[in-house]
Amino acid sequence: MNDIHINTQNNESEPVDGAEESSSRRWAKLKRNKAAFLGGILLLIYIGCALGAPILFRGNPSTPNLLYSLSPPSMDYFLGTDELGRSILGRILYGSRVSLMIALGVVGVGILFGVPVGLISGYYGGKIDFIIQRFTDIMLAFPGFLLALALVAILGVGLKNTVISIGISMIPLYIRLVRGCVLTVREDVYVEAARASGTKDRNIILRHILPNVMAPIIVQTSLCMGTAILFAAGLGFLGIGVQPPTPEWGSMLGSARAYMMGKPHVATFPGIAIFLAVLSFNLLGDGLRDAFDPRSRI
């Protein structure tokens, strides 16, 4: 009996060790990816600027000072000032908090609604899958930014409506991604065994299917956060996103359009901030995809 007990423990530990080994191999591959490493460094700097904005910049970035309007970069204002004499550095730092908040809110909306619908569509199939996918096709018929633009026009401008509008445009991406993964996973042996043993569908979805589709969801989330920042900047540039005086990179670019030729620094630095933030998420997302995609190991 003791021998049997020992063998059982050894057999149960093998899948765990295999999972740990596979996870370690994935993270090791991610660390060796120089592009992903660069993206991670940029992302850490971006998050550090967002969290440490009150420490890095003392004062209110929205307070105007017309005496220093459109001042070039100097020791007093490292990145210069805008048309109202406000520090561009301070507005970029505080704008990173707004952009990060938008990105987190957008992917939250996409995951909250897209993942459950994708799980249901892929697992049950049939008429449910048909109805969900036709509705998804209608949403995907519109380019993501145009769909967000139309929703903002309906809901109104502001931070909250910007998050909701961009988040809704991300939902069909999650639905399609999760559905495709579920169609593959639901035919695996362990899912069939759970179904044959009488396990409820809800438990099968939550305990067996969802954990095995998390890797693509993580990759998609990283890429969607970069897209969310870009969409929010585009709406702000058009004047229908986050409204002044709230510091937001897109609205800063929109305000700087009239001064781009004579005072290029007003638009250059917010544009660089958008570029680096989106680049960090895209590089990290590509690295995660290479590390977690089984086809990349072939």
**Sequence spans of domains, the chain:** 29-53+87-272
Q: How far apart are CA 151 and CA 267, in angstroms?
A: 27
Instruction: Give the mean model confidence (pLDDT) for residues 279-296.
Output: 80
What's the pLDDT tens digit per position in 232-262? Answer: 999 999 999 998 889 999 999 999 988 988 8
The pLDDT value recorded for residue 293 is 64
Mean pLDDT of 176-199: 88
> Is the domain covering 29-53+87-272 a CATH 1.10.3720.10 domain?
yes
Output the pLDDT for position 1. 42
Q: How far is CA 132 from CA 61, 137, 150, 217, in A?
A: 45, 9, 22, 19
pLDDT of residue 11: 40
pLDDT-based confidence at 22, cuts 50/70/90? low
Residue 297 pLDDT greater than 90, yes or no = no
| Residue 83 scores a pLDDT above 80 | yes
* Nearest alpha carbon to residue 70 among 59, 79, 61, 60: 79
Determine whether 199 is exposed, middle or buried from the number of CB atoms within 10 Å of its CB (0-12, 13-18, 19+).
middle
Contact status, residue 148 vs residue 165, Cβ threshold 8 Å? yes
CA contacts within 13 A on the Cβ side of 89? 17
pTM of the model: 0.85
- Phi/psi at 198 (nearest 5 deg)? 90, 15
Tell me the mean pLDDT in the region 63-68: 90
- pLDDT category, 17, cuts 50, 70, 90? very low
**Does residue 170 register a pLDDT over 90?**
yes
Reported as a single tens digit per residue, the pLDDT across 109-122 is 999 999 999 999 99
